[in-house]
Amino acid sequence: MIPVTEFRQFTEQQPAFRVLKPWWDVFTDYLSVIMLMIGVFGCTLQVMQDKIICLPQRTFQPNETELMSPPVPITPVSSVPVTELKGLKTNLDIQQYSYINQMCYEKALHWYAKYFPYLVLIHTVIFIVCSNFWFKFPGSSSKIEHFISILGKCFDSPWTTRALSEVSGENPEEKDNKKNSASRSNLNIPAIEGTLEKSPSLRSIPDKIVVDKPAPSVLDKKEGEQAKALFEKVKKFRLHVEEGDILYMMYVRQTVVKVFKFILIIAYNSVLVSRVKFTVKCNVDLQDMTGYRQFSCNHTMAHLFSKLSYCYLCFVIVYGLTCLYTSYWLFYRSLKEYSFEYVRQETGIDDIPDVKNDFAFMLHMIDQYDPLYSKRFAVFLSEVSENKLKQLNLNHEWTVDKLRQKLQTNSNNRLELQLFMFPGLPDTIFEVAELQSLKLEIINNVTIPASIVQLEDLQELSLYQCSLKIHSAATSFLKENLKVLRVKFDDMRELPQWMYVLRSLEELHLIGSFSSDVSKYVTLDSLRELKSLKTLTLKSNFTKVPQSFVDVASHLQRLCICNDGTKLVMLNNLKKMVHLTELELLHCDLERIPHAIFSLSNLQMLDLKENNIRSIEEIVSFQHLRKLTCLKLWHNSIAFIPEHIKKLGSLERLYLSHNKIEILPSHLFLCNKLRYLDVSNNDIRFIPPEIGVLQSLQYFSVTCNKIENIPDELFFCKKLKTLKLGRNMLSVLSPKISYLGALAHLELKGNHFEFLPAELGCCHSLKRSGLVVEDVLFETVPSDIREQMEAE
């Protein structure tokens, strides 16, 4: 016979799975074991003992008296000896009795009486399978195993205890005092670790008292990394499980099957249980083999089976009522949604999200086991909790000394710390007191705390694709101390709102895409607060200069607009920016010099780089800009320099490189204050001798042109320090190069020189590092001059 232990495989799960078995599943499991024992016990009796015992039944008829009952001779009473009484003779042997028993068992005994133990066994096995099928089905068991694994780690994680203790409202000193006083009064009184989470249906569950394990004040690095990995696992698991409801549907279906099974069992058992009788009439035609047709049989197990059936029905009724309660619980409550509202109110962690589908269903099941699991699990659903953990790990990883090693001096000669793709801001940053510039790149969902006030020397802040929040105390600090702010963004709405109140701000650099209706986001009132703003850089996709910027920029001195190729159409607003000294309109697809520029009487530098300017006839209007000293028209399509350029008497720096200029007009050199002239990367073939007029010239570049000869007058520019003649068609360098005593950089590479004049030695400021020439050509210089030039 099969022992009961063989059925354990149907009911056994991993011990951890018990958290997903509510009280009714545990109760029905015990009922299933009892019913299984009834079935096994009945089957054992069926096999071990006789099923039925039959005796032939005599029938008397007048004409058959002699046949059926042979005459018995009458003997006088006095002559009959006293003997023991015996039963009626049937003249049947043991084999005939066995045959009769088998035939009557098969033909006369009701099927319910015969198969009752087996029915009990089959029904019970079906109940067991239905109760545990969702633990075995591949589509659901994998999710359950994963969930149980994560749940156990979350429950035991030191970070869970730390996070819940931080929101308990007690500081560590008060908590220690309470523990010490409690231990002195009664050493056996356990502390309360935390109040159990009560979902709306479980508010009546009393708080669970557990021993409070003293949490360490600081997590070590390994524990922090484990908690960080748990957050990632919970995120991925939630994303995966919330997509479907297979667990919920599986549990509902197996419950419905059990209810229908219960109804079926009650229906037919209540009718057939009365068919289990002790006495059975058997009418089987066995006269040819035994001489009898009717038999009287006793079902030996009838009395016991009758009691077992009634007992079995009682257990089935209890089982069914439990299943009906389960069905009511499943359909009455919304188990595909789970709210952590009570946990949020109790712990103060307000960002714990509600969950749905299978995730919600498993949490409802866990609440039936112990609501504390849901409460501790909720810690790993909170972004606030995750950010605190990241902050803790950051503080472990980035110590003050390690941050000081990353300090560098930036272009503004400030001590700068750059943080790239950090998960947050280490608190240790605010202990680097000497920090002057902080550059944050691709750092999201972090908060600048009030502790930034410790950085008394901080003057510059760069935010590249960062989404930050800022403490009110930090806003007040930056309002008074910040001088330079750089913001790079993907959406206009990412601009920090607190930047509009930085009244000490002197430089504002904005890089990103603006919407065409930019005025709706950047209001006039907001920028008016920037009273100290002197430099404004906008790298974006404007079609016109925003009115809101212009109106508040009456005190602006430098404006830079880089439009990335988008055509800048309306520039009239520039007329109002009368205090501008520097203006850069880069890559704005301009075809002519905007007339609005000619009204900027204080302008000193104008840069129109990378536009589509073909003609500069309007340059005559520059004569009204008497302070203009630097004009940059490089990287355009200019083919001709008009005669009016001679009227720019104050011009000191002129950039005309990367154009299509073929002729350098002589009237260009009437700008006798020119100190810097760059006409490289054009189609120039000839340098006029009038260049000798530029006695203040210090930098001259004609690189990448088609020049064949250098006029001797060029060497009369004795203040020349940089001369770039590379990549032309020169074949001879005049010995008059010796006149350029201040020359420190000479570029000759890419020409057709055969030798270099020895007069290079007279250029005492020229060293080998400043001479750009082929090595072979350098060897033509006398050795003593080479040594002189190579000497440091």
- 385-420 pLDDT per residue, tens: 777 777 778 888 888 999 999 999 998 899 999 999
pLDDT band with cut points at 50, 70 and 90 for residue 730: very high
In this prediction, residue 664 carries a pLDDT of 93
pLDDT score recorded for residue 248:
83
What confidence tier does 483 reach under pLDDT thresholds 50, 70, 90? Answer: very high
Ranges 297-311, 613-627, 728-742, 767-781: which has the least confidence: 297-311
pLDDT in tens, 210-229: 334 333 445 666 777 777 78
Handedness of CA 320, 323, 327, 329 (dihedral sign): positive
Query: pLDDT (tens digit, 9 = 90+) per residue, 57-83?
Result: 776 554 444 444 444 444 444 444 544
Band of pLDDT at residue 514, cut at 50, 70 and 90: low
- pLDDT-derived band at 492 (thresholds 50, 70, 90) equals confident
The better pLDDT of the pair 562, 338 is held by: 562
What the block records as the tokens of 109 is 């005994």
Query: CA-CA distance, 52 to 279, in Å (whole number)?
Result: 10
- State how far the Cα of 48 lies from the Cα of 42, in Å rounded to an integer: 10
| Residue-averaged pLDDT of the chain | 80
CA 728 to each of CA 17, 681, 714, 778: distance values in angstroms, whole numbers, following the listed order: 84, 10, 16, 18
Residues above pLDDT 90, as percent of the chain: 31
* Res 486 pLDDT > 90: yes
Q: Is the pLDDT of residue 640 over 60?
A: yes
Taking residues 306-312, what's their average pLDDT? 85
Which pLDDT belongs to residue 65?
A: 41
164's tokens: 């819940």
Q: Report which of residues 380 and 744 the model is more confident about.
A: 744
Q: Is the dihedral of CA 105, 108, 110, 113 positive or negative?
A: negative
3-state secondary structure labels for all residues of 369-425: HCHHHHHHHHHHHCHHHHHHHHHHHHHHHCCHHHHHCCCEECCCCCEEEEEECCCCC
Of the given ranges (88-92, 117-121, 401-405, 488-492), which has the lowest mean pLDDT? 88-92
> What's residue 147's pLDDT?
80
The rounded distance, in Å, linking the Cα atoms of 765 and 742 is 6
Query: SS3 for 471?
Result: coil
Of 30-34, 174-178, 463-467, 719-723, the range with the lowest mean pLDDT is 174-178
Question: 111-136 and 302-332 are packed helices; what angle lies between their axes, rounded to 10 degrees?
Answer: 30
- Number of other CB atoms surrounding residue 619 within 10 Å: 18
> What per-residue confidence (pLDDT) applies to 219?
63
Residue at 614: amino acid letter: R
| Residue 208 pLDDT exceeds 60 | no
Q: How many CA atoms lie within 13 A of 122 on its CB side?
A: 7
Q: Is the pLDDT of residue 720 over 90?
A: yes
Residue written as token pair 């595909």: 336
What the block records as the tokens of 281 is 């009439």
Closest CA to 760 of 709, 707, 723: 723
426: CB partners within 8 A, 6+ apart: 391, 394, 395, 397, 398, 403
Could you read off the pLDDT of 138-177 as tens digits, one per residue? 777 778 777 877 777 777 777 777 766 665 544 444 444 4
Least confident of 81-95, 114-128, 266-280, 372-386: 81-95
Q: Is the Cβ–Cβ distance between 532 and 507 less than 8 Å?
A: no
Is the pLDDT assigned to residue 382 strictly greater than 90? no
Q: How far apart are CA 655 and CA 681, in angstroms?
A: 11
Most confident of 363-367, 552-556, 569-573: 363-367
- For the cut 60, the answer to whether the pLDDT of residue 582 exceeds it is yes
Structure confidence at residue 346 (pLDDT): 79
299 vs 631, higher pLDDT: 631
**Quick check: helix, strand or coil at residue 702?**
coil
Contact 640, 615 (CB under 8 A): yes
Distance of CA 497 to the CA centre of its chain: 26
The pLDDT, as a whole number, for residue 460 is 94
Residue 356 has pLDDT above 60, yes or no: yes
The Cα 659–Cα 535 span in angstroms is 29
Tokens of 262: 């219960």
Q: What percent of the chain has pLDDT over 70?
A: 83
Distances (CA, A) of 189 to 164, 193, 194, 196, 211: 21, 12, 15, 19, 9
Is 612 a residue whose pLDDT tops 50?
yes
> What's the rounded mean pLDDT across residues 731-752?
93
The C-alpha atoms of residue 629 and residue 655 are separated, in whole angstroms, by: 11
